[in-house]
Amino acid sequence: MKRFLSLLVVAILSGMFTLGGYKMFLETETVVVKESESKPNVIPTSYTVTNSNTALPVSSIDFSLAAEKTVNAVVHVKQYGISRTPRNLMEFFRNGGTQERRIQGAGSGVIITEDGYIVTNNHVIEGATDLEITLNNNKSYKAKIVGTAPQSDIALIKIDADEKLSYIPFGDSNSAKIGEWVLAVGNPFNLTSTVTAGIISAKSRDLDESDDKIQSFIQTDAAINPGNSGGALVNTRGELIGINTAITSQTGSYVGYAFAVPSNNAKKIIDDIIEFGGVQRGILGITGGTINPKAMEEYDIPVSQGVFVSSVAENSGAKKAGLLEGDVIKEIDGLPIRKFADLTGYVNSKRPKDIINVKILRKRKELVLPVTLSKYKIQKYNIDDVGVEVMNPPKDYLKNFNLDHGVVISKALSSRMKRYNLEGLIISEIDGKKVKNVIDVKEILDNKYKDEDITISLVDRNGKKREFVFQ
């Protein structure tokens, strides 16, 4: 019995020591805090009561209808070509002659009629020997080029389909507003039938004032990448308001800035090509620029937006209508003119002999003058534009080259041409036509426009004939 009691005491003491050790060394304290029911003190940065009937939240905007109406009318354009000449003078002298290279490019196009007329960018189809068009239903057709407008980067092509095609109707790009939702439809990176959404970020955007191409773009933040060129920019009603053309990027991919040719300009070009076989450009007949603070101070101009007229061309529509140097153009046909790109964008949607109403500010008085647009005459080539100076060959000089015709390059004019040591070489042909003297060169170039390529045949000091294309 005593032994049992001793064991019991030992067991109780062991349990007490074990429990005490656990409490001292192993157990952690747990504190339960009741969740506070107080709300944070939030101070709004602004507070405006709006009528829900006049402003729709972004989540309520549905792009599906516009996408459904347009995706079948945007096509994949594949162009194939053969490059038979060096791309530049460096290749010309390194390779020692012409080489054939098969090239392939891809872009997008927009069907604008049910019988197969398609608008795209000129740079998408430029240099093509074959064009293949793939519809959204995977049917493919060969296309032919109807006409091009390189200065506006617009081209019209056509396919002969065995069915009536879905097409996108033109909208009014002048009515499009900054902040308006738009969709870009195209084939970026060969991903066919891609739709992206964004807003119109700006209008009448001029990307490079030094470029002689016509510029008055719609800027959007809808994602556009290589392959989207020639695709559609549409509003939420599914109307075509622009032809996607370019992006501004340091990487070559989309970074938020994309640009489209306004639909009004594209439609006018297409109508001209179909009706006249080429673009009919009307011009106002002035030189000038966007008003800036310096001009405001120097000429005492009381407005900060508009186009300042620095000169008026003789015999132009502007001259005949009474525009003067120093006038400020504020509106054309009721459309506000804030900068020079607004003016060029609108005028380029018109034809010669069209009459536009120009509101000007002259000595702080407003006048409205009806101006009949003049016809734009494209400046023609001069041999200086090629970057060289030529002369008739001295007696017996051509015998050194085994030739009986040609002109001698006497001087390189441009810094680019000076690098190639061209002095003394012979130009034997231009566009396949033999040249015997400087007059022949002038006559050929007088019939060439600056948006056309020139093929020049050179004979080097070894008597070897080579060709390159001057663009």
Catalytic residues: 123, 153, 229
| Burial (0-12, 13-18, 19+ Cβ within 10 Å), 412 | middle
- Which token pair is 287? 């030189």
> Using CA atoms in the order 266, 272, 278, 281, what is the torsion angle rounded to 10 degrees?
-80
Whether 310 and 291 have beta carbons less than 8 Å apart is answered as no
Whether 152 and 348 have beta carbons less than 8 Å apart is answered as yes
Give the DSSP H or E segment for 282: strand 282-283
| Burial (0-12, 13-18, 19+ Cβ within 10 Å), 279 | buried
> What SS3 state is found at 189?
helix
Question: Using alpha carbons only, what angle is made at residue 143 by residues 141 and 147, rounded to the nearest 5 degrees?
Answer: 160
| Burial (0-12, 13-18, 19+ Cβ within 10 Å), 420 | middle
Whether 329 and 307 have beta carbons less than 8 Å apart is answered as yes
Q: How far apart are CA 135 and CA 439, in angstroms?
A: 51
> What SS3 state is found at 263?
helix
> What SS3 state is found at 244?
strand
Radius of gyration from C-alpha coordinates of the chain: 35
CA-to-CA separations, 75 to 88, 166, 244, 273, 393, in angstroms, rounded: 32, 11, 13, 21, 54
Whether 119 and 272 have beta carbons less than 8 Å apart is answered as no
> What SS3 state is found at 252?
coil
Q: How far apart are CA 129 and CA 408, in angstroms?
A: 34
- Which token pair is 468? 């390159």
* Backbone φ/ψ region at 392: left (φ over 0), alpha (ψ -120 to 50), beta: beta
**What's phi and psi for 87, nearest 5 deg?**
-80, -20
* Residue positions counted in the chain: 471
